Amino acid sequence: MSTTHIYNDTPPFWRRFGFFFAYIRQEKLFFQVTLLALLNLLLAVPSFIIQITVQISLFLASYKLAFEVLSSMSRGEFQYRDSFAYHVTELIGFKALGMPVLQLLLFIFVFRYDPLTGASLLLLTTILTPAFLMVLAESQSLINALNPLTQIQVATRIGGEYALLTVFFVLISGLNLLIRYVLNGVLPALIEVVLLAWLLYFLLVFSFSVIGYVMYRHAHHLGHETMDNLEDRQSAKSNTASNHDPIKQRIEDLLAAGDGQQALSVINEISESEQRDDLNRYRLDAQQLAKRQQAVSPAERLHELVKIKQYRQAMQLFNEHHANGHLIRPTYVSDVNPLIRYNLQNNNHDWVVRLYKLTARNFPKYHQDIVDAGHIAAQSLYQLNQTDKARRLLQRLIRQYQQTANTNQLKSYLIGIKQKQKKPTQ
């Protein structure tokens, strides 16, 4: 198994529909789906030969595109690459008709004479359709794909997720038929043709991307080759230390910390200067996290970072908002205290004082926290050669909170400052 963050943290498909929509919305893939739909306008040409040629060509092109998506997704390539997959045959669409043709034959020659047996076989073939597509995508062989033993092995090795995948696949097919029924005759003919064609291609690519993703998730059980397997073998051939990739480790650490924006910045920066296709698998996860970060309020984001002790990134967040003339208002006082100590340790004294004022202003009922923050702020003021301000701050805090908080540290530090301020006697 791969040790990468992406592989180990790949949730089931029903929790990642946003990921699949984002995958299809990638510019090059979305353009191909739309272009295929627009080419259906050629069906308006009053020529039977042209219409048949267009229909067959678009059918084959759409299925080749869908199988390329399935194949690349099953290998763990989560960034669409606009390149011909020569291992996917141009006639894969005709081979994909193998299962529907088999079902048609079962209906004609079995169901009509023995409804119970026929219905059972039709149900079984419907359940095994995703497995049929998986085997076909990998082997490119219709004979292998139609082997029921192979299909059953694939389904059982995937387990419970396969049952949900089958339900999803049937629902997608039903949705296509329902929309076609609802829109029939509602729109002008040409618009309806293009719209329904686009819907068909979109759902085709969408469902095949989900099938590929499930195949990737269970690649270890299926004995399926993925990019992760290739990387693991390459790692085994080299010394572990020399083969360690600090860039990938950095990206994985950022993704683990939930910082998609920073991870995306690293990926884009490296991609501009180097040809690193191996980083593409991280891009969509980084984009999803970045969008989630934008939807989350700065205070919530700050809380998440402090909770996992990512103090440096928390201060970057503070700095970004402060540079734009804003100051984050934390939800919890516990989000500020560790940052005050962090800034003191790193000699960021201006931020220590700023965060103390933030604590006193936003959490007036937390007397002990204000006192503790004020003690650290006084130390920073002293380091900034602002001894008088430090002394006045300590005196004010002692006077205001000596009845409701422990101010002994303040008093001791005040005594020390006063002694250092005394001029030597003549």
pLDDT of residue 242: 37
Q: Are residues 33 and 172 in the same domain?
A: yes
**Whole-angstrom distance, CA of residue 417 vs CA of residue 391:** 7
Residue 282: name the closest of 3, 14, 79 by CA: 79
146 and 26 housed in the same domain: yes
Has residue 7 got a pLDDT over 80? no
- Domain boundary at 191, 208, 227, which? 227
Same domain, 172 and 44: yes
Are 190 and 76 in a shared domain? yes
The residue among 277 and 299 whose pLDDT is bigger is 299
DSSP state letter for 424: P
The pLDDT of 332-356, averaged and rounded, is 89
Q: Quick check: is 241 in a domain?
A: no
pLDDT digits (tens, 9 = 90+) for 8-33: 457 889 988 888 998 998 888 999 99
Q: pLDDT tier at 331 (50, 70, 90 boundaries)?
A: confident
Q: Mark whether 223 and 324 lie in a shared domain.
A: no
Domain count, the chain: 2
DSSP state of 110: I
Answer with the one of 178, 194, 227 that is the final residue of a domain: 227
Picking from 178-182, 217-221, 262-266, which range would have the lowest pLDDT averaged per residue?
262-266
* Residue 194 scores a pLDDT above 90: yes
Nearest to 158 by CA among 143, 146, 168, 171: 168
CATH of the domain at 359: 1.25.40.10
For residue 257, tell me if it sits in a domain: no
Please give the residue that has the higher pLDDT: either 4 or 247: 247
Does residue 28 share a domain with residue 130? Answer: yes
Q: What is the mean pLDDT of residues 102-109?
A: 94
Q: 289, 258 in Cβ contact below 8 A?
A: yes
Give me the chain's average pLDDT, please: 85
More confident position, 264 or 71: 71
SS3 label, residue 214: helix
Is residue 417's pLDDT more than 50? Answer: yes
User: CA–CA separation, 282 vs 279, rounded Å?
Assistant: 6
Whether residue 234 is contained in a domain is answered as: no
Say if residue 231's pLDDT is above 60: no
Instruction: Report the percentage of the chain scoring pLDDT > 90.
Output: 41
Categorize the per-residue pLDDT at 368 as very low, low, confident or very high, splitting at 50, 70 and 90.
very high
* Same structural domain, 36 and 176: yes
Structure confidence at residue 238 (pLDDT): 43
**Structure token pair of residue 198:** 């686009």
Helix (H) / strand (E) element for 236: namely helix 227-237
pLDDT at 236 over 90: no
In a domain, 368, yes or no: yes
* Same domain? 192 vs 337: no
Q: What is the dihedral of CA 42, 46, 49, 55, to 10 degrees?
A: 30
On the question of pLDDT at 322 being above 90, the answer is no
Residue 238 lies in a domain: no
Residue 251 lies in a domain: no
Q: Are the beta carbons of 80 and 72 closer than 8 angstroms?
A: yes
pLDDT value, residue 186: 85
Q: What's the confidence (pLDDT) of residue 223? A: 80
Q: Which domain holds residue 137?
A: 5-227
- Residue count of the chain: 426
Q: What is the pLDDT of residue 373?
A: 92
Closest to 293 (Cα-Cα) out of 332, 334, 267, 257: 257
Distance in angstroms (rounded) separating the CA atoms of residues 75 and 85: 13
Give the range among 127-141, 212-226, 320-334, 403-417 with minimum mean pLDDT. 320-334
Angle at 255 between CA 249 and CA 259, to 5 degrees: 120
Q: Of the ranges 3-7, 44-48, 287-291, 387-391, which one carries the lowest mean pLDDT score?
A: 3-7
Q: What is the CA radius of gyration of the chain?
A: 31
Which of 194, 227, 260 terminates a domain? The answer is 227
Q: Does any domain span residue 97?
A: yes
At residue 266, the pLDDT reads 82
**Would 423 be classed as within a structural domain?**
yes
What are the residues whose beta carbons fall under 8 Å from the beta carbon of 111, sequence distance 6 or more?
117, 118, 119, 121, 122
Identify the pLDDT of residue 229. 56
Please state at what angle helix 115-127 crosses helix 129-139, rounded to 10 degrees.
50
More confident residue, 212 or 264: 212
